[in-house]
Amino acid sequence: MRESKEVKVKYFVEDLEELCCVPGSDWVDLRAAEDVVLKAGAFCLIPLGIAVALPEGYEAHVVPRSSTFKNYGLLQANSMGVVDGSYRGDGDQWRWPAYATRDVRIPKNTRLCQFRIVENQPPLVFTRVERLEGPDRGGFGSTGT
């Protein structure tokens, strides 16, 4: 069994359901911290009601839940959000950049997106070479053809 990491969370809203790990998954659901009404074509940074002090050496990846588009017609405007470890201040509330494809009402505490934390990559050194030794697979977009 892996060792647990402590993650300090500040809640901006008293009646927001608290974060918890879903059994059998390493993703954590995030919820709308207030009722939100959007018209088709509107963009909104939906407050998620939390600020997080990620463990040292980790970052969070935030993506939509699989049902978010089907149920609410919302797209995450930046495809995937990355919260780096320095975004940990008392006022650094997480928000979700939503683009509405139809008129929608999102009730407070609706699960819209999810996150997981991943370890930062190690320091990298890039070396210019004339040739790579791996097999040529045909370039980007060629897999499966």
**CA–CA distance, 82 with 117 (Å, rounded to integer):** 10
Amino acid identity for residue 102 in this structure:
R
Contacting residues for 130 by C-beta, under 8 A, at least 6 apart: none
**CA–CA distance, 85 with 63 (Å, rounded to integer):** 17
**CA–CA distance, 81 with 61 (Å, rounded to integer):** 6
| Catalytic-residue membership of 136 | no
Pick the catalytic residue from 15, 26, 29, 84: 84
**CA–CA distance, 1 with 122 (Å, rounded to integer):** 24
Active-site amino acid positions: 84
